[in-house]
Structure 1
Amino acid sequence: MISRRNALAAAAILFWARTALAEPTLGLAERRAIAAYRESRFPAQEKAIQDAAGFAVPVEVAWDQLAIPGDAQYYENPDFFEKTIFEPLAAALKEIGQDKMGREALRAKLTSIRIRYDEKTAPASNYANGLTFAGGVLDVNWRPFANVADAKDRVAAVTALLEKNL
C-alpha cells in the first residue's frame, strides 16, 4: 500500500513533469508586442509577399507559435521576423513570378501561405526541411531571429520547393 507521504511525493512529481513539459504560453508583454507588430509592420510585409506572388494570396501567421516567450522586446527589430521569414519568402515568390509562366503557376496552384514556428520540428539551418507544399498551401516552419545572414539559403529553399511543385 502507498503511504500518504509517497502519494504526495508522486503527485508533486507528476505536477512538476506536466508543468515542465507544457508548452510555454505567451505573456502580456508578448501579446502586446505581437499586436503592435501586426498593426505597424506586418501589413507592409504581407503586401510585399502578395505583390511578389502577383495576387492577394492569403497569408496566415500563427502568431502564438511564431512569438517566442521572453523575446517581446525584439519583435520590432527587422531581424526578428522580417529578415528571417517574411523578406526571404517575398524574394522567393518574386523569383518564381519573374515571368508570365511563373505568375500563372503561382496563381493556379498557390492557395495560401501558412507561417509558423514549431520548436520541435523547425530546422536550425536546412531550411528546406521547414517547408512543405501540399493542397496549395505553402507551410513555412522557421525559427524567427535565427541565422539572420542566411536569407539567400531561405530564398533558395522556397524557390526550389515551389519550382518542383508548381
Structure 2
Amino acid sequence: MGLAERRAVEEFKDKQFPALKQEIDQAAGFDVPLEVQWDTLAAEGYSHLYADAFPKVYFVPLRDAVKAIAVDQMGKDALKGGLKKVLVANTKEGFSCSSFSFEGGTLTIDHQPCSNIDDVGERTTGIQKMLEEKL
C-alpha cells in the first residue's frame, strides 16, 4: 500500500467511517462489533475511489441489510443474539456475495474494494438473506 492509498484510507476512517458505524449501530439497535482490516482494503492505484467505493461496497449494504432485518423486535432480538462480529476485508479477491459468509456469529464481508461498486442492492440482499437464514 503506497502513500496515496494510506492517506485515502485514513481520510475515510476519520471523515466517513464514524457516521457509517453509527448508522449501522442505530439500525441494529445495539453496538455491532465491527472489525475492518483496513490494510487489505487498499487496492493499489484506486485511492481516488475509496470515498465512494468503501461505503457502497461494505458499509451501506451492511446498514441496509441490518435495517431490513431489525424492522421488528423479533429481528432485533435475532441480530443481537446471533451477530457477534462483522469482519470487513479483502483477502479472497472476491467480487460478489459468494465471498461473504456467516459462521459462528461472525459475518465476513470479503470483497474487492473497487469492483462492482454500484451493486449495492445485490450486496444488501445477499447479506440480508444470509443473516436471515442463519440467525
TM-score (norm 1): 0.77
Deviations 1:24-59 (CA, angstroms, capped at 9, x unpaired): xx1122111111110111101111111111100111
Q: Which amino acid aligns with 1:58?
A: P
Corresponding residue of 1:141: 110
Q: Equivalent of 1:82, from 49, 55, 59?
A: 55
1:6-26 C-alpha deviation (Å, 9 max, x unpaired)? xxxxxxxxxxxxxxxxxxxx1
- Aligned residue in 2 for 1:11: none
In the alignment, which residue of structure 2 is the partner of 1:115?
Answer: 88
Task: For residue 119 of structure 1, report the CA deviation from its aligned partner.
Answer: 4.5
1:106 aligns with 2:75: no
Question: Unpaired runs of 5+ in structure 1?
Answer: 1-25
Q: How many residues align?
A: 135
Measure how far apart 1:102 and its partner are: 0.3
Unpaired segments of 5 or more residues in structure 2?
Answer: none
Choose between structure 1 and 2 for higher RCO, CA contacts under 8 A separated by at least 6 residues.
Answer: 2
Q: Does 1:159 align with 2:128?
A: yes
CA RMSD of aligned residues (A): 1.3
Q: 8 Å contact 2:43–2:114 — kept in the other structure?
A: no
